[in-house]
Amino acid sequence: MDGEVRAIRDEEALLRIFVGRNPEPFVHALRSGKTTKWSGSLFNPVCLFFPLVWFFYRRMFFYGAVLMVAPIIIAVLFPNAIGTIGTGLSGAVAVISSWLYVTYAQNRIASIERSGQPESVRDELIRKAGGTSVAGAVFGAVVTAAWVVVALAAIPKSLPACTSDAVRDTIRNGVIEQRQQHGFDASVTVTDLTETGHDGQRSRSCEFTISTPQGTNRLQGEMSWVNPATDQFKMQFKGPAH
């Protein structure tokens, strides 16, 4: 029994040397791993939102690099499910990160302990193998910020509503241009705009009433982007409304 208690105490002491600052969560993860393996108290909220910052701060560079590449692979293989898969991956990492760190630390410690060097030398090697990296955390934060910028830029921009003034003006200008090509004046009024359908953020179907000195017509058109970055869109007339 005494041997078991000493083995546990020595293992925790070595882990404390490896971790450096704030070792208690990982000591707790080590103890939990000997009984339940999974515990709600092991959940790492930092990893849920800032996994790269945490992994690079904890000097787990290989794991951080894997997490950097994972979103690219997911986007290529599952472009329509990247949000769902990314959320699930973040949750999984938050659950296992503390346990993963302890396993990583134990492997590094075991390798150093097998070196056969004096205890003081081994302790110093363990301390250098672990610890934290502020530069790593900064790097992780920069990459995370870049991800956010790219993700926001990739969000499809919504076309304006059929009832907006911008759409009304676009329709009116289009009708005026067509009328002037045939020698008619620019007396055009656009009223009763309604939306009849849409295809995600790529197009929007509208109906509207065009009033001119020659009469009134109920027409339909399809709106789509020309350049979302400059809010430029077009309305293609589809003929009389059904």
8 Å CB contact between 127 and 20: yes
Its sign, for the CA torsion 36, 37, 41, 43, is negative
- Give the per-residue pLDDT at 40: 53
Whether 74 shows a pLDDT value over 60: the answer reads yes
pLDDT in tens, 92-146: 888 889 889 999 999 999 999 888 888 889 999 999 999 999 999 999 999 999 9
Higher per-residue confidence, 11 vs 85: 11
Query: How far is residue 15's CA from residue 30's CA, in Å, rounded to a whole number?
Result: 9
Alpha-carbon 87 to chain mean position? 8
Any idea where the domains of the chain sit in the sequence? Answer: 2-154, 165-240
- Reading the block at residue 183, the tokens are 């020698």
Whether 8 shows a pLDDT value over 50: the answer reads no
How far from 192 is each of 69, 195, 209, 214, CA to CA, in Å? 50, 10, 6, 18
- Give the per-residue pLDDT at 5: 39
Whether 155 shows a pLDDT value over 80: the answer reads no
pLDDT in tens, 212-235: 998 999 999 999 988 887 888 999
Give the DSSP H or E segment for 171: helix 165-181
Torsion angle of the four alpha carbons 18, 19, 20, 21, in this order, in degrees rounded to the nearest 10:
180
Average confidence score pLDDT of the chain: 86
